[in-house]
Amino acid sequence: MSDQAVINKRLTGLDEILDKSAQLMAHLGYHGTSMRGLAQVTGRSLSGLYHYFSNKEELLFLINQRGFTSLLAMSGDLLQRDLTPQERLSGLIHNHVTYFIDHLSEMRIMTSGTMEMNEQRSQTLWKLKQEYTRLAQNIVGDYMDSQSGTNHSAQSINRKTYLLYGMMNWIFGWYSAKNHGTAKDIAKDIFHTFTKGCCGTE
Binding site for DNA (CB under 7 A): 13, 33-37, 44-48, 50-52, 54-57
CA separation for the pair 104, 113 (Å, rounded): 15
Is there a contact between 145 and 151 (Cβ–Cβ < 8 Å)?
Answer: yes
Of residues 65, 87, 104, 160, which one binds a copy of itself by CB under 8 A? Answer: 160
Closest separation in Å from C-beta 193 to a copy of itself: 5
Nearest by Cα to 52 from 120, 111, 37, 61: 61
Q: Which is nearer to DNA, 55 or 151 (CB)?
A: 55
CA 22, distance to chain mean position in Å, is 13
Site size toward a copy of itself (CB under 8 A) is: 44
CA separation for the pair 171, 158 (Å, rounded): 21
CA separation for the pair 190, 143 (Å, rounded): 15
Of residues 4, 80, 148, 153, which one binds a copy of itself by CB under 8 A? Answer: 148
Residue ranges that bind a copy of itself, judged by CB under 8 A:
28-32, 108, 111-113, 140, 143-144, 147-148, 152, 155, 159-160, 162-174, 179-180, 186, 189-190, 193-200
